[in-house]
Amino acid sequence: MGKYAHLKDVLDPLPQDQTWQQRINTVKPRFNGKGLGLLGEAYNKARERKEKLEDDLGDVNTELEALSQMILSKMEEDNLSLVRLDDGSTLYINDKPYCRVDNQVKFLTWIRTSKKEDLLSVHYQRMNSLVSEMLLEGQEPPPGIKAFIKTSLGRRRG
């Protein structure tokens, strides 16, 4: 048993998303009546299929990033913000700021002097939103925060 096994009698099980559980329940009948050994073999085969798909997906993501970089470079070179393709889809430039804490001491000092202690428990996505809003208003990011811009290629289907 694992180190948290004793908590099974104390804590409720983590709720499963109902839509996901419904999908799971439609698959279970394929394995009814199988012993632990056969269930384990089926599990291992499914894991291997998943690993292969993830490897393939990694290759596709690499190809997409290479194409995105090349298309973005060409679009910026040609001073274009969007391109309509023959299939009716549109590719467009999407710029979005991102940030990270670059100097924790400066950032914590800014939080305290700005009376924004609620940010001490802020999720990184909320911090990105805050910094994005500040940048849109022409303000500098808080001290200790380094802002970046990520340019990506967007696509709308035709």
Q: Tens digit of pLDDT per residue, the chain (158 long)?
A: 677 777 777 677 777 789 999 999 999 999 999 999 999 999 999 999 999 999 999 999 999 999 999 999 999 999 999 999 999 999 999 888 888 888 888 988 988 899 888 777 767 788 888 888 888 888 888 888 888 887 776 677 77
Q: pTM, whole model, 2 decimals?
A: 0.59
Q: Where is 45: in which H helix or E strand?
A: helix 36-77
Q: Which of 86, 59, 55, 83 is nearest to 70 (CA)?
A: 83
Dist. CA 131–CA 147, nearest whole Å = 8
